[in-house]
Structure 1
Amino acid sequence: MAALANLQENNLETIYVIWLDASVNDLEENIKAQQSIRSIINHLIVFQTAIDCEQYINQTSRDDRILLIVSGRLGQEIVPRIHQCRQIFSIYVYCMNKARNDEWAKHFQKIKGVVIDLNSLLKQIQLDQSKRIENKVDEPLAINISNLNNFIDKSTKELNGEFLHSQLLIDCLLRMKPNLTDKNELINLCQKFYENNPKELSLVREFEQNYSSNQAVWWYTRDSFVYRLLNKALRVQNIDLLFLFRFFIRDIEVQLKQYQCSSLVRVYRGQLMSTDELDQLKIKIEDLSTELWLEIFAYLKIRQQFNAFFGLNKRLNQTLLSYRTHISWRNNDEDAQHLLAHVLPYMTHPKNVTGLRLENTKRIDFNYYGNLFDFPRLKALFLHRLNITEDLHSIIQRNSTYLRYLYISQTISCNKLLMHKFLETILSLQNLQTCSLRLRLCMTPLRIKISSKSSIKNLRLMGTSEICTTDRLIKLLEYLPQLQSLHIIANQFSFISTKSTENEICTVALSNFILNINELTVPFIQLADFIISVMPFIQELKVVCRTAMQNLNYLNIHDWIKFVKSSPNLKNVTFDVHRGNEIDEQKWNNRCQMLIKNMNLNHVTLRIGK
């Protein structure tokens, strides 16, 4: 009971309202206004002298927030002395002569208004308070940074005592079994604390009558006394109040575990920081682990990283220059220029870079800057909208020893001789596993000279407006004996030979083939024969046609059965097509059902349709 009585005497919320006016308790209008103010911000304290008011402000916690209402005469006396106090976040001058008080008030940034009408004052306070609640403005930033990396093999005396205390406290509260009186004790406290605040009392009654354990998170995220009281109690480690909240904290933990995300979700929260809080963060910055800094850097562009953190201390400089694992250079913008001027020339561990993306860098002189791109352990390379030049080709050759993933989505220009040379380099990479190339890069006559076969296992050829010809595709496959998955995106798939002589058919141990084309212009039986001849071990097949089918020729059951019986390893087929208006819907559905049924009888799973 003593603890409960002690709690009732304190402000359990973070925000105070202090009203300083010689007649604050003398005029009936002011006494009624106090009730209205408490409905907006519960904790109101009134003073009639500047000395008492200033003394009270100075003894409040620096983490509390004070909204000050002051008369014009007393405002001129006290505002210059308390304006810089961290606790003061807003000042309203309530006076009888607005013009005279505007003159001195304009020199103080925290003065939000000079008003002569009480209703206007209340409306302004209500509006500003609503904005603060919505945007979490003026909410103290609770900082407790502990170097978890250094916790191993240390005694409790050497560790951050405040951190350990807070963790042990929460752990104890969660382990304690709640009883029926927990909620009643909290309700009694809140009813006493909000006895002059009808709005908040109605929420307390609602909580008393309707709260259940499966509503804990809903109540915590609601704008109510629960959020404000619990947050302050956690921040200042108010053990007496946290003890009363133990049933609620336990319910929150249960709900958070129940609805825990199965995968990583990135969320954001804005927070204003005072100068004092920023200084505290700078002091504690050395205790942040390297892993946490890398997480922070992941949210920022290179230029933002260096502008914000480079030069603060040697450790951060080393982290920025040593632990970079991915370089992205796009459009020759400010970030790219910052990369050239401040990052690449000073990188201490270029071997840590495993990913490089170059996009639309045609205005960069690779002949001049090429020596900066030296990443001996590069594993992933992305190229988009580039002029393929000798200098760029040289950079790729120099950084390709450990390259496992290569993505070339679009090339702006490239002469045929260099294109052959570029393709030779790609096919000769000994560790390359996955490769995405522009289709036209591989559809030119191939006269490739490489000492050994390619190690590529997954190949994607992209060209939505280009034609993929089978003879050149077969020629390319000769260099890919380890290929397991092939994905082609093209306008058409053509069997028209580009040479006067017949093609030699090669076979590959391909298990997965995806063909995504705009229009099916060849008979199904011809496509099936090609797949059987070139990919005899195929297990997964997907054909996507981006335009509507105009007839049922591709749904011929006899042709499909012949194809399946000639492909003994085939297990799954996806035929991603849709019916054109020329085909009767019932006929289409009947044919699809019959075909699926026959495929099932041959132990092949067939899916048809978008």
Structure 2
Amino acid sequence: MPLINDIPQLHGIYVFNDTKNLPEESIKKWGKIKSVHTNISDLYKALQSGIKQFNQDSIAVSFLTVTEMVSTDNLNQLEPTFMYTQIFKDIFLDMQHSEKAIKQFIAHCRNNNSLSPTIIDRFEKEYHAELAIWWYTFPSNIYSILNYGLRTLDADTIITVGFFICHLHRQIQELHEQQINSYGRKPFLVYRGQGLMKSDFEKLLKAKGGLMSFNNLLSTSKDREVSLEFAECASIKPHSLSILFIMSIDPCLKSTPFRVWVGVYKAY
């Protein structure tokens, strides 16, 4: 147990025990022990929350300073992740995806145990493009597969879920166009709380006045307190800082569609 804090691949430990008798001092000493549970239901909820927090903090961020934005003489100075993300976006959103792409994704999930057999069978029977948002929010691990591909820029994973990225983007775009008049013409604030590596935070400071790009689909909240909870959870991680992003959204700008979530589209 004393070695667990030194294993970088190990994010957290959740203990299931008949009696909650793990000393409090041990939990504090071994920082990667997140919680101790005496019933499966509480353990499951804690794991879900931990996975959500991990995904929240793992989204890759690219930064462009004012100088880099102004100068186009040397594109090699731009962050590779920023350029690759833009290239992938342009390619996949313009592609036409057939039923074959969906079948290949299902076969990939079966062969690699990416999803539970029950979820795979359900996806195979029920999925269509109009349910992309529903499946993205459904606790099925599709969210994690997609985010992993975008976070690591793993070409094989991105190609495998390319049809889903395209369907998801188009559905968000359609719903955005339907809702655009309901937003009014005034900007509004949304919040996002997450952990940010200290090295990335230093880049953020240097990029003041420049561009910051999240290389993923970005989830935010209009509730500041909800986002603060995510930020506070990240404060216990070594080499990480808790960040609360406050973003002003101008509904009149249509360069990037967004969607205000409502219960009917969110899977529970």
Return the TM-score normalized by structure 2: 0.63
- The answer as to 2:128 corresponding to 1:128 is no
Query: Does the residue aligned with 1:178 lie in a helix, a strand or coil?
Result: coil
Q: Deviations over 1:109-158 (max 9, x none)?
A: 3324567xxxx36445313113335xx32332422222366334323223
Q: Deviations over 1:286-323 (max 9, x none)?
A: 1232688xxxxxxx9xxxxxxxxxxxxxxxxxxxxxxx
Q: Which residue of 2 aligns with 1:147?
A: 65
Given that 1:146 and 1:288 are in contact with CA atoms closer than 8 Å, whether structure 2 keeps it comes out as no
Q: Which residue of 2 aligns with 1:266?
A: 189
Q: Deviations over 1:464-492 (max 9, x none)?
A: xxxxxxxxxxxxxxxxxxxxxxxxxxxxx
Distance in 2 of aligned mates of 1:88 and 1:228: 17
Given that 2:4 and 2:30 are in contact with CA atoms closer than 8 Å, whether structure 1 keeps it comes out as no
> How much has 1:219 moved relative to structure 2?
1.7
Distance in 1 of aligned mates of 2:7 and 2:82: 27
Given that 1:149 and 1:289 are in contact with CA atoms closer than 8 Å, whether structure 2 keeps it comes out as no
Given that 2:59 and 2:147 are in contact with CA atoms closer than 8 Å, whether structure 1 keeps it comes out as no
- The answer as to 2:102 corresponding to 1:183 is yes
C-alpha spacing 1:265/1:248, structure 2 compared with 1 (3 Å): farther
Q: Deviations over 1:157-199 (max 9, x none)?
A: 232222111211221122222123100010011123338x7xx
- The answer as to 2:27 corresponding to 1:111 is no
- The answer as to 2:13 corresponding to 1:91 is yes
Q: Gaps (5+ residues) in structure 1?
A: 1-74, 293-299, 301-610
Q: Deviations over 1:414-472 (max 9, x none)?
A: xxxxxxxxxxxxxxxxxxxxxxxxxxxxxxxxxxxxxxxxxxxxxxxxxxxxxxxxxxx
C-alpha spacing 1:202/1:290, structure 2 compared with 1 (3 Å): same
> How much has 1:267 moved relative to structure 2?
2.2
Matching residue within 189, 200, 206 for 1:280:
200
> How much has 1:244 moved relative to structure 2?
1.6
> How much has 1:98 moved relative to structure 2?
7.9
Distance in 1 of aligned mates of 2:135 and 2:193: 21
Residue-pair matches, total: 202
Distance in 1 of aligned mates of 2:82 and 2:123: 32
- The answer as to 2:157 corresponding to 1:206 is no
Query: Does the residue aligned with 2:11 lie in a helix, a strand or coil?
Result: strand
Q: Which residue of 1 aligns with 2:137?
A: 221
Distance in 2 of aligned mates of 1:223 and 1:96: 27
Q: Which residue of 1 aligns with 2:248?
A: none
Query: Does the residue aligned with 2:83 lie in a helix, a strand or coil?
Result: helix
Query: Does the residue aligned with 1:269 lie in a helix, a strand or coil?
Result: strand
Distance in 2 of aligned mates of 1:158 and 1:287: 14
Instruction: Select the structure of larger CA radius of gyration.
Output: 1
Matching residue within 74, 78, 82 for 2:4:
82
Higher helix share: 2
Q: Which amino acid aligns with 1:142?
A: A
> How much has 1:245 moved relative to structure 2?
1.4
Q: Which amino acid aligns with 1:125?
A: L
Q: Which amino acid aligns with 1:131?
A: S
Distance in 1 of aligned mates of 2:13 and 2:121: 33
Given that 1:145 and 1:287 are in contact with CA atoms closer than 8 Å, whether structure 2 keeps it comes out as yes
Q: Which amino acid aligns with 2:72?
A: D
Q: Deviations over 1:175-228 (max 9, x none)?
A: 222123100010011123338x7xx32222222111111221222122222211
| Structure with more relative contact order (C-alpha pairs < 8 Å, separation 6 or more) | 2
Distance in 2 of aligned mates of 1:246 and 1:279: 31
Root-mean-square deviation over aligned CA pairs = 3.3
C-alpha spacing 1:160/1:142, structure 2 compared with 1 (3 Å): closer
C-alpha spacing 1:215/1:84, structure 2 compared with 1 (3 Å): same
Q: Indicate the percent of aligned positions where both proteins have the same amino acid.
A: 23
Q: Which amino acid aligns with 1:102?
A: P
Return the TM-score normalized by structure 1: 0.30
Given that 2:4 and 2:32 are in contact with CA atoms closer than 8 Å, whether structure 1 keeps it comes out as no
Q: Which residue of 2 aligns with 1:252?
A: 168
Q: Which residue of 2 aligns with 1:309?
A: none
- The answer as to 2:89 corresponding to 1:170 is yes
C-alpha spacing 1:287/1:220, structure 2 compared with 1 (3 Å): same
C-alpha spacing 1:163/1:122, structure 2 compared with 1 (3 Å): same
Given that 1:233 and 1:242 are in contact with CA atoms closer than 8 Å, whether structure 2 keeps it comes out as yes
Given that 2:66 and 2:210 are in contact with CA atoms closer than 8 Å, whether structure 1 keeps it comes out as no
Q: Gaps (5+ residues) in structure 2?
A: 213-223, 225-268
Given that 1:142 and 1:235 are in contact with CA atoms closer than 8 Å, whether structure 2 keeps it comes out as yes
Query: Does the residue aligned with 1:144 lie in a helix, a strand or coil?
Result: strand
Q: Which amino acid aligns with 1:259?
A: L
Q: Which amino acid aligns with 1:241?
A: T
Given that 1:89 and 1:110 are in contact with CA atoms closer than 8 Å, whether structure 2 keeps it comes out as yes
Query: Does the residue aligned with 1:288 lie in a helix, a strand or coil?
Result: coil
